[in-house]
Amino acid sequence: MSSEPHAIRRATAADVPAVKAVTDAAYHPYIARIGVVPQPMEADHAANVAAGLVHVTGNPQVIGLVVVEARRDHLFLDSIAVHPDAHGQGVGRVLLTFVDEHARALGLPEVRLYTNALMVENQKLYPRYGYDVVERRADGPYDRIHYRKRLARM
């Protein structure tokens, strides 16, 4: 494991409890606002880790993570979570930069994600990192805003 601040590595089975804990801590405040449990809290973290979809940061304790999945024409950012105790330390920025670099390394031209429309903080955050709104649509109980970021070729 790297001693570099906020180094990112693929999660292992030993990280599953921390992945769940960080995800729950990051998303729990939204339950009251959106009226349902955010989907990342209900994810099968063990299966996602086993599939190689989860990347974590924090040494020795996990403080942030992303869940990403390569698709045919883009990298899907399924979830990003930073433990509330680590807010303001640049963890989210490092994770989003990693997502871009990971997509480029896979030869994918863009990153896509969605966020709940009631998670209004994200509507300010993602455009600052180059994401454009594609559409807004309801998916079951979730009102989602879909974003994409086209990556410049390096």
pLDDT tens digit string along 16-71? 999 999 999 999 999 999 999 999 999 999 999 999 999 999 988 999 999 999 99
Query: Where is 113: in which H helix or E strand?
Result: strand 110-116
In 3-state terms, what secondary structure has residue 115?
strand
What are the residues facing 81 on neighbouring strands?
65
- Res 5: pLDDT: 64
pLDDT of 154 above 60: no
**What pTM does this model have?**
0.93
How many residues belong to the chain? 154
